[in-house]
Amino acid sequence: MSIAIFASGSGSNFQVLVERSKSEEWSHPISLLICDKPSAKVVERAQTLGIPFATFAPKEFTSKEAYEQAVLHVLQEHSISWIVLAGYMRLIGPILLKAYRERIFNIHPSLLPAFPGKNGIADAFHHPVKVSGITVHLVDEGLDTGPILAQVPVAITPEDTLDTFAEKIHRAEHQLYPQVVRDWIAKNKF
Ligand code: GRF
């Protein structure tokens, strides 16, 4: 019984999750990375950290269902019981949702339901609001909907640029996400 992380990009959250899971000796280890962009930096991080990974090119599948069936097959081979989305730029479809209902986490860089979608950081910064933040939630059919597990506010100050604000968001994510995932899994063992 273990955890898979799904990521498409840089993978800073992936790295922090893996490091924390190892140093804190989580009951469910992180044993797999699923990546839908074979050239993403997160794959290098997995290699460095010694985490097995599977990369997919979704366009090579005839449908989203076929893609998710292939992913599901790999998850089952690795006895995965929880999925942690960490910058996975794709909506989870019915095949994975059915197999992992209420067992998929996501982190979003805004205080949902404000600023859902791909550009949560920039949308809040340019709106402009004075406080945005981060949200950890369970995944359902919608885009950044699903039961909220934790939120932390992050201020936008007059001195902030988009870059400094994004750095603050990522620092907050790296603190909150491992903690919420660890505690939620410990409370909801299957
Ligand atoms: C994070 O900001 C996360 O909230 C969003 O995607 C970003 C991933 O960053 N869902 P990284 O790849 O973990 O560095």
- Tell me the pLDDT tens digit for each residue of 143-176: 999 999 999 999 999 999 999 999 999 999 999 9
* pLDDT of 190: 56
Of 36, 46, 52, 40, the closest CA to residue 15 belongs to 46
In tens, the pLDDT along 43-87 reads: 999 999 999 999 999 999 999 999 999 999 999 999 999 999 999
pLDDT at 186 over 70: yes
Residue of the nearest CA to atom 7 in ligand 1? 87
Pocket test for ligand 1, best of 8, 13, 169 (most atoms within 8 A of CB): 13
pLDDT at 33 over 90: yes
CB < 8 Å & 24+ apart, contacts of 26-31? 26/182, 26/185, 27/185, 27/186, 27/189, 28/1, 28/2, 28/3, 28/81, 28/82, 28/185, 29/2, 29/3, 30/2, 30/3, 30/4, 30/5, 30/84, 31/2, 31/3, 31/4, 31/78, 31/80
Pocket test for ligand 1, best of 83, 91, 104, 107 (most atoms within 8 A of CB): 107
Q: What span, in angstroms and rounded, lies between the C-alpha atoms of 125 and 119? A: 10
Across residues 117-123, what is the average pLDDT? 97
Where in the chain does DSSP place strands (E)?
A: 2-7, 30-35, 53-55, 80-85, 104-108, 131-138, 148-155
Q: How confident is the model at residue 189 (pLDDT cuts 50, 70, 90)?
A: confident
* pLDDT of 178: 98
Q: How far is the CA of 149 from the centre of ligand 1 (A)?
A: 17
Cis peptide before 109 (omega within 30 of 0): no
Q: How confident is the model at residue 17 (pLDDT cuts 50, 70, 90)?
A: very high
Q: How confident is the model at residue 1 (pLDDT cuts 50, 70, 90)?
A: confident
Q: How far is the CA of 62 from the centre of ligand 1 (A)?
A: 28
In tens, the pLDDT along 79-116 reads: 999 999 999 999 999 999 999 999 999 999 999 999 99
Task: Give the percent of the chain with pLDDT over 90.
Answer: 97
Note if 108 is an active site residue. yes
Q: Is this prediction's pTM over 0.75?
A: yes
